[in-house]
Copies of this chain bind each other. A is one copy, B any other.
């Protein structure tokens, strides 16, 4: 059998993972997708998805993965305990396993390893900045339970909360958003309680298209909700702001882009690359810590 794949980079999220086998010169040997590998939901679960993806890459390249270097950007990857547990459960015998958060991988990819800001907004939200001195700072990203202000999960949750206030008389103003929401989540207290029983950030985020449609049709409540979301996102960006270019990522990027305050909007640029590209750059420079990236090498 041939030499092992030199490097595998993995972008591991809550709905799926993408893996890329990389040659010694940085060329892409193969790419594969696999199941979710959010470390928050367990190291064993993540390894199952990663193993399956690695085996696919091994078949595609006809090369073993044992002995490869692994550079992972995992959702929930910031916990040192989870990182250690993931490394300790390695069933392949990798040469090295480096773990950073998927957000930092996206940040490095979006600006090709140069200083810049990323606002990632989908079901959840995080703002990241890579500063000229190589430090990485972030804001928001605390998760759905206490935060993710301005995200899809937050927007949907606020919309249902407003519907509840409308139905019990605390928000008397009518709105076509409320009429549409009632068709979706239920017409009265009991129906809404049933809908809420299994509701998580993903279910709340599923209401975002309805909110956007109503806002664009001119509904005042929907417009205010979107405006509040964008205000929260702007606060998150300003908390890490360095004046560098801003890349918008995630399912809500397009909705947010046109609504940002002018000073931030003027600095929005398309991402130069994705999280896998970012991990390749990190591996090429040997950047192992997400808290400080020694940019001297690239600037």
Contacts and interface: CB of A to CB of B under 8 A. Distances in A.
Given A78-B190, A189-B78, A190-B80, A196 B143 contact: yes
A212 interface: no
A2 interface: no
Given A139-B169, A140-B168, A170-B139, A79 B193 contact: yes
Interface stretch (A89-97, A233-241, A248-256): A233-241
Copies of this chain, whole number: 2
A157 interface: yes
A161 interface: yes
Interface string A142-185: 11011100000000010011001100111000000000000000
Contacts of A146: 157, 160-161, 164, 196
A240 B138 contact: no
Contacts of A80: 190
A189 B126 CA distance: 13
Nearest to A146: B161
Interface string A68-101: 0000000000111100000000000000000000
B196 A145 contact: yes
B193 A143 contact: yes
A233 to B, nearest CB: 11
A142 B141 CA distance: 26
B199 A169 contact: no
A23 to B, nearest CB: 35
